[in-house]
Each structure stands twice: as structure tokens, then as C-alpha cells.
Structure 1
Amino acid sequence: MSGVIDLFETGMADLHRALAALRRERPVVEVALPGGGTAWLVTRYEDAQRALGDPRLGKRSSAGGFSYQRMLPEDVARAVSRHLLALDPPDHTRLRRLVSGAFTARRMAALRPRIEGLAEELLDGMSGADRVDLIESYALPLPIQVLCDLLGVPSEDQADFRSWTNAIVAGGVDPAGLPPALVAIVGYIRELLAAKRRRPADDLLSALITVRDQEDRLSDDELISMVYLLLIAGHETTVNLIGNGALLLLAEPERWARVVATPELVPGAVEELLRYEGPVQSATFRTALEPVELGGQKIPEGARVLISLLSANRDGERFPDPDRLDLDRPVTPNLAFGHGIHYCLGAPLARLEGDIAFRALARRFPDLRLAVPVEEVAWRPSLLLRGLSALPVALR
């Protein structure tokens, strides 16, 4: 094997097989990107963890890995590039300090009863059917409504921002729909923020508008960027956690029966599901700010770097028997939510939603089963995220 490879030609269903071959033969390799150009893909756990914490692999000039920003109005490009995943220290340090103050333990803990209530409402809505798409009926609306409640977003706007986020998530492999979706979502956020400034409420959006550290506070672009990040990452990761997890639990009826009979397995099962088929395929792009050596490979200054969380979490050097889903596996830290300064701020909320979602689903539909063969379940095209297009299930 030599030269640049096109990993993404293999298709989403065969991705694990392709990544396993790379871990064995070319653990750090230059890959062609669907939107044009190349990036160095890091596939082993040790290298991935090191790369995620290496300040020489920064966000400066990464531009999301694509040239779409030059296709945007300047104010829109600026407004989607000032969030936590797009900045290096000291800007990142300052922004995370400000934003972390809005993610209080009290605010997160207070969400549990509401999440449990939303799960029950959605399951009530499914109960009259023989067959449903579990993504559309449950995995998707649950985190979206939680996010709407958390941010103070009107629930009637869910359909709009779901269509925008679909286009943004697919932007890595289909860039055409990305610019109009970004223009639309930035315009929406601006209107939403203006409404919250006129009439503040007890929600995260109002808290972000007023958050400050002494005389420091978020600029308008930082505020828009942060809300943009929350709208995208805040629900996409949890949709995929619930959807991917449900597929894996239902793929073997005995596995689902264990969860139904032993709900106390669920917190550990969530960790194993995150490791085995996590919601994020690759961390967002880094740029080599100077020459860097990883896994015996020299990466030149200015090169883009993709860190495969999906591959790292199947590395046999880190996890014994990594390709076996083991609900009894001792919890070992994995990279599903990243590592280092860009570790996902919303990871505790995603875990909470996953725990509630699987417990409620097992309690209400103990006879749940897949309505199609596992190999017919389709994965969404995405460079960064790992999730299903649909999950047809039979309820009885």
C-alpha cells in the first residue's frame, strides 16, 4: 500500500473493516477527502490520544477541512468559526471558561425528570403502531426536544433546524448543500438571540447572553458560534448514541433480553456502546502548526489531520477483543467524546439521555426487535459523524 488512499469509497457499512486494515498496515495515512484535498488520518488509540492533546495540531486555518467558507458571506463565515471546536488557546481557554459557567451541575441535574417525561411521551406515541422508524420516532425527537428546552428554542422550529443540520452533517461528503444551510441557521440564531435579549428566560440561551467573567463576556460572533455548535453537536451525538446503540442491542435478541431483565446494566452498556459504535466517527479537523511525527509518520506543517475516534476505540492494543460488543466489559476510558482541551462539554448530558432512553425503551417494549436484517440498515453519509439513516423496528 502506498500513496493517498480513498478510504471513503469503501462505504459507511464497511468502514470498520477498512479502518482495521489501516491500524495494522498504515496507522497514520494520507486520505483523499470527498470535498477535495487530503488529510492525514490517525487510526490507533495511542496515536489518537496523543494527537488530541498535542498543541502542535491546532485549529488555526483548519477551516473545517473544506473551502466552503469562501462561498459564504463574510459575516456568516465569521459567525460559524468562533466556537470551542474552531479555536486554539488562549481564545479557546477564555471561551471554555465563560461557557462552562452556563453548564452548571444544577442545570444538568434538573433535566432528568423532563427527559424521562419526554421519553414516556414519545413511547406513548409509538404504542399504537406495529412498526416504526426508531430514529424518527424516538432517537431524533428526544434529544432535539431536550435541546429546545435547554436553550429555550421554540419547539415548532425543530423541523427547520433538523433540515439545516442534516445538510451540515452531510457537508463533508456532499458540500453543495452546506453554504445555504449555514446562511439559514446563522440567520435563525440571530433572530433567536434578539428575541432572548428582549425577553430573557430561565434557559441556557439567556444565560449565555449574560454570562461574564469579571469584565469579559462573549462577543456576538462567539455567541452565535456557540449556539450553532450546541444546535449541531448537542443533538447529533445523542441521536447517534441512541440509534446506534439500539441497533446493536437489538441485533442479538439475547442481548436485548438481558437489558430488559437487568436495567442496571444500562450505564455500563452505554459506555460499551460509545466505545464500540460511537456517535462521532472522527474528531474535527486539526492543522499541523509545525512538522509533527505520529505513528512513525512525518506530517508536514500546514497539513490537515483527521483523528479517527471510531478506529481508536476498536484498537486491540487498548481494548481486549475489541470487535466484540461486551455489556459486561469493565469500563475503560475511551475516546468517543474526544480527549484534551476539546473534550465534549455535553458528554454528561449525552450519557444521561442515553441511560434514560434505553431504560425507558426496554421497560415499555420488551419484545422490540429489528424489522429488517442488520445488513439492510443504512448509515448516513458523513465525514465526522457516525449514525443511521433509519432504524425500522417491530414493537410486538
Structure 2
Amino acid sequence: MKKLKNFPYKQVLVLGLAKSGTAAAELFLDSGIHVRINDLKADQNEPAVRQLIEKGAEVITGGHPLSVLDDVDYLVKNPGIPYENPVIAEAEERNIPIVTEVELASFLHEGTLVAVTGSNGKTTTTTLIHEMIQADQQKVSLAGNIGHVSCEVARSTDADETMVTELSSFQLLGTEKFHPEIAVWLNLYEAHLDYHHTLENYHQAKAKITANQRADDTLVYNADDESIARFLPDVKAKRVPFSISKEGEGAWADDTFIYFEDERIMKKQDIVLVGEQNLQNILAAVAAVKVNGIRNKAIVDVLTTFAGVEHRLQFVTKKNGRLFYNDSKATNILATSYALKSFENPVILLAGGLDRGTSFESLIPHMKGVKAMVVFGETADQLSETAREAGIEKVTKVETMQEAVDQAYQYSAEDDVILLSPACASWDQYRTFEERGHMFIQAVHKL
């Protein structure tokens, strides 16, 4: 396992444990750097915490006293902790560098680093890129917001290995020197304003994916996204577009085929993944791997077999002619609108979740195929009103996922799609969108 070399800081504070904080702390300890850990809820008797203490970490729990910053010259924060946290605010006052653990991957990984971000489609695109490189029998590892801590993965990668990492705006905001050789910027819409406070702050956080790129690096970007376009004049890297509407440059598609530049890759009808959103993800992945030298056969092998990522328009089962899809990862309106555009069959939509103060009015144009809705969570009343404005007469408010699935089935007929695509984060009722998706799948199988 690799260690940090020539690291310029001597006293590090890790704020927030979870997987990313634990991995960062272990890296620092193994590298001979003094580590102080501050976590509000961690129990010092937990085996993982005890192990860190035994390795030499200083652990402070139960609160966030400003004294945790004493003698600290570097702070690694959990991505989810807001910058209003008093310790982070005080660290900013003291000009202490504040990063997320993905920053540490830049100190460790020696091969090609592919970083993927966007408001939607990150996990599918990241997974596609990984699968395509692997299908070409090249060394590749998967990391980032997809469930594998970047600095932990980077410790065991080889110099000839590609590391593909999915990055959120929370993670990117905490980067200073993070440098991907290939950056993929999928799209840029309104999201996470409860964290970033303004749309401009959110956009600037996303733009950090290319901030440290050089002329010999590559930015793969969505040529159909005007919000990304305004950042392009400042990009130093080679720019490779992908587009579902413009032909001839980068990765693109017509009615029959997908292409890279003037090279025909494969027929669209042979691709397993459905929907316009997934076509964008596919083109982004094709562009990223083509500039990385991956052969067409590997691309075709993946796209003719890859059926999707769990919780992202995931086909669950067919029961009595009804098709069930789990799109729990649709935590914003855009993701749900893409899901609705993926189906020609009538849809019973299950939606609702955390109230972030967002209007659902922009969802209405995409609801023409929705015959009924089942709503839940903090936004249930807002979504009920949105459904009525869209002319949907069958709307039911429920408390649990089992009730939602049962009611959706009662509304449905043969050949209907029963779709969980919440348009909201899950944290009002569930710990994660994965938990919400698993509850949906469990409820479907109980029918």
C-alpha cells in the first residue's frame, strides 16, 4: 500500500469519519503524519475507532470544539459537512487548507486518472467507462462517489493503471490540486442549493473538475449544455465534445448509429440501456475511452450487455404484464424528467422525499404519459398539486413504500410501467437513496 511522500503538512484534522474520513486517517497514520479526528456521533469504543486510536490517532467525539484546530495545518472534511460548520468556518479564518479525501488521490495515483461529474448520470457513465476499459483487458480501478473511497483505491493502483472516479460537487469543492488527465463533465443543472446556497456556487464547484488540467489533458463535455459552454473559454485541456443533437465532432449519434469523430461504432438498436439520458451517458463514456485508446470491440461488448446500474432506471421485474423500474437515484427533477421520457407505455409514478424548497412546475411538461401518481415524504403535498396541474386525476398520498407499491399496482393495467423516480433526495425517510430503492424492490417482490 502506497504512502504519502513529501507531504508538506505535519498536523492533520480529519473532520467526520464515515468511510472517507476513516480511509484518509489511515493513510495519514500509515504515512507517519499526526492525525486528530473530530466526529460528532462516533463512539470511541467502536472497533474501527479503537483501531485508529491504537495506530496513534487523537479522537475527539461528542461535539466540535474549536480547540480541535490547535496546531492543525491541514483539514480533511467529510464531503457532506457544510462549510457553515463552526470548525470549518474557523479553519477558513485561519487560512488552513480545507479539502475532501479525493484531493489525496492526486498525491498517490501515478497512472491515468479519469474523473466524472455532472448533475445527473455520473454513476452510469463512470461504470460504463470502467467496464469498457476492463473489457479491453486494461488495468482499471473504480473509485469516488460510487462507493469506493478514492484515496484508499489510489493506494493500491499501479503506474500503468487507469483509475475512474465519480465526483460530486461536495467532493470537488474540497479540491486544490486535484488533476485528472481525462475529465468528463456530463451536464450542469440546478441541484444541491441547500448546500451551495446559490446556483453560481454550485456551478463553480463543478467547474473545479478541469481547473488544474493542462494542455496535454482532455475535457470530455456535453456540447448540448449551455451552462457548461460558458466555462469552456477558460479550459486549458483539449476539449472533446459529445452530443445527441450535433454531428461530426467527438462522440455523437444519428437515428441509426453512434460515432466517434467520423468512425462508426455500432447500431443504436443493439444498445441495451434505454432513454435519452442514457444515450448521453453512453456518448460521454465512448469519448472518454476513445481518447484513452480503448478499442471499439470492447465498447460494443459492454453496450450490448450492460443493463444499467442499480437504482438508475433499473428494471426490477415484470408481474402480470406490469413493468417495474427502480430509479431511486433520481434525486432531482431533471433525473425524473429523463426517466419519464424513457417510456412510451403509460406510467404510474411514485415520487416524493426531502423538501428542498424546489418547485416541481418544470416537471409538468414531461408528465403527459403519467396516468396516476403515488406521492410520499415531505414533498407529497407539493407533488399532489403538481399532478393536478398536469391533469392527472388519480393521485394518492401514502406513508410507506409498501403502501406506495400496493396503490400503484391497483392503479395499473397490463403493459403499464410502475416507476419509482422520486425527484427528491431520500433523507426525510431513508438514510440513502439506495435504502429507498431496496425498499421499493422488496415491496415489489411482496406483491
The TM-score bracket by the shorter chain reads under 0.3
Structure number having the greater strand percentage: 2
Higher relative contact order (CA 8 A, sep 6+): 1
Task: Give the greater-gyration-radius structure (CA).
Answer: 2
When normalised by structure 1's length, the TM-score is 0.26
